[in-house]
Amino acid sequence: MNYLVQKPGDVGIKTYSLVELRVAVASGEVQLDCQVRHNGKRMTVLEALKAASTCYECYECGKEISSLAAACPSCGAPARAAQASLGSTIATASTLDFHVAREGKHFGPYTEAAARNYLADGRIRGDDLCWRPGMDTWLQVSQVLGER
């Protein structure tokens, strides 16, 4: 899932993955009203992120997968397996929108329930940073989920 973003006043276009776009918005690098092209459609970054909340990127081939799919239609990788980057527990909550960062590396997206499970068993630490759509900045996991 690539997003072609052109910032106001810029001549060039920059390509972002969904995760990179979310991080760029959270960091202030990209504004929500910037224009983006995705799958041939022109929209604002905000519209693109809203549309993306019903899908995610396959960890194997990078193609778009519906959040309702059991497997990637392109390569057959099991759905939600991208959560395995910090462990193999799969939670039952719905939206994959919880991003975690530790020592410059990004993990996720996870469901909030999966992130809580990972926090409880130590795979995510309270001092790791997290972000999800709607947050202005990255915060410590303990501030968002609380220590367990």
CB 36 within 8 A of CB 22: no
CA atoms of 60 and 107, how far apart (whole Å): 15
Do 90 and 45 lie in a common domain? no
Do 33 and 75 lie in a common domain? no
Tell whether the model's pLDDT for residue 148 goes beyond 70: no
Per-residue pLDDT reduced to its tens digit, 105-138: 888 888 888 888 888 888 889 999 998 888 888 8
Per-residue pLDDT reduced to its tens digit, 10-63: 888 899 987 788 888 877 888 888 899 988 889 998 888 877 767 767 766 777
Do 119 and 80 lie in a common domain? yes
Q: How many domains does the chain have?
A: 2
Q: Report the alpha-carbon angle 90-96-102, nearest 5.
A: 85
Task: Give domain status of residue 148, yes or no.
Answer: no
Q: Which of 4-13, 54-63, 72-81, 87-96 bottoms out in mean pLDDT, i.e. has the lowest?
A: 87-96
Question: What's CA 2's distance to the chain center, in Å?
Answer: 13
> Which residues constitute the domain of residue 74?
68-143
What pLDDT shows up at residue 36? Answer: 92
Do 44 and 107 lie in a common domain? no
What pLDDT shows up at residue 116? Answer: 86
